[in-house]
């Protein structure tokens, strides 16, 4: 099976702009989680979607949002970008919905200038 | 919420030696503990995991132990090889929290040939 894919891989945006990142899970996986990775804060949970429903949300401002489509593909959106949003955004997919193996995509490297 | 602490932050060993990375968690409801390996510029890769009903799990040169009473778990790598050099992350997930993972801060393992 193909692994988790994310597009785009690299992105440069300006402060104040908005951005949409996309994640395609492993075929058959219904759970998609998003994480932000930075050198200072490490890996932090953003949110999780399962069967098109957001089940959990991390401690991030409302500028961070997401959704999941009926084919389990997920998107996350960040509005009004700030310099501190520069990070590697990783998504992970899981076959089951509860404390199960998660497999990460390659990430989208977002740089905000 | 859950808090996961990981030690040491850096670890340097000679090829062939063993390496041990330790993590502690705060929420006694946590029941799933995966370990990820992240090589430079690559995605985190699931290398082993353990559930709260098991005390130890092995996979070739890698083993994980869990002490629920003390709320800590450890990764053991034997006969280390240069290709084991990477950043290792521990994580915890609890029941009724979907697939939300709380990560430790990471350990940079360097295996010197």
Res A99 pLDDT > 80: no
Of B95, B103, B106, the CB nearest to A99: B95
**Predicted pLDDT at A98:** 76
* Burial per residue of B7-28, b for 16 or more beta-carbon CB atoms within 10 angstroms, e otherwise: eeeebebeeeeebbbbbbbebe
Res A105 pLDDT > 90: yes
Structure tokens at A55: 């089940």
What's the rounded mean pLDDT across residues B56-80?
97
Q: Which chain B residue shows the shortest CA-CA distance from A108?
A: B43
Q: What is the pLDDT of residues A16-55, one digit of tens each?
A: 999 999 999 999 999 999 999 999 899 999 999 999 999 9
Structure tokens at B52: 């709260």
Residue B88 CA to residue B104 CA, distance in Å, equals 9
Q: How confident is the model at residue B23 (pLDDT cuts 50, 70, 90)?
A: very high
Interface of chain B against chain A, CB under 8 Å?
31-32, 34, 36, 42-46, 49, 51, 89, 91, 93-106
Q: Which residues in chain A touch residue B34, judged by CB atoms under 8 angstroms apart? A: 101-102
**Predicted pLDDT at B99:** 87
Res A97 pLDDT > 80: no
Q: Are A47 and A75 in contact (CB under 8 A)?
A: no
Res B41 pLDDT > 80: yes
Instruction: Say how many CB pairs under 8 Å bridge A and B.
Output: 72
Q: How confident is the model at residue B96 (pLDDT cuts 50, 70, 90)?
A: confident
Handedness of CA A106, A110, B2, B3 (dihedral sign): positive
User: Between chains, do B100 and A56 touch, taking CB under 8 Å as contact?
Assistant: yes
Chain Cα centroid distance, residue A52:
14
Res A75 pLDDT > 90: yes
């Amino acid at each position: 099976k193909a692994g988790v894919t994310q597009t785009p891989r690299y992105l440069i945006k300006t402060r104040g702009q908005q951005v949409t990142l996309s994640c395609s899970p492993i075929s058959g996986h219904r759970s998609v989680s998003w994480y932000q990775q930075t050198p200072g804060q490490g890996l932090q949970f953003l949110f999780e979607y399962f069967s098109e429903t957001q089940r959990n949300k991390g401690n991030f401002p409302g500028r961070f949002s997401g959704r999941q489509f009926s084919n389990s593909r997920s998107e996350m959106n960040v509005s009004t970008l700030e310099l501190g949003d520069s990070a590697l955004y990783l998504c992970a997919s899981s076959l089951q919905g509860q404390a199960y193996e998660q497999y990460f995509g390659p990430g989208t490297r977002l740089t905000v200038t | 919420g859950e808090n996961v602490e990981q030690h040491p932050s850096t670890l340097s060993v000679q090829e062939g030696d063993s390496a041990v990375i330790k993590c502690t968690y705060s929420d006694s409801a946590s029941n799933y503990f995966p370990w990820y390996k992240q090589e430079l510029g690559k995605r985190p890769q699931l290398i082993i995991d353990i559930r709260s009903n098991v005390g130890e799990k092995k996979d070739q040169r890698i083993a994980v132990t869990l002490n629920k009473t003390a709320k800590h778990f450890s990764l053991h790598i034997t006969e280390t090889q240069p290709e084991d050099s990477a950043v290792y992350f521990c994580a915890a997930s609890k029941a009724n929290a979907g697939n939300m993972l709380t990560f430790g801060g990471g350990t940079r393992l360097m295996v010197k040939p």
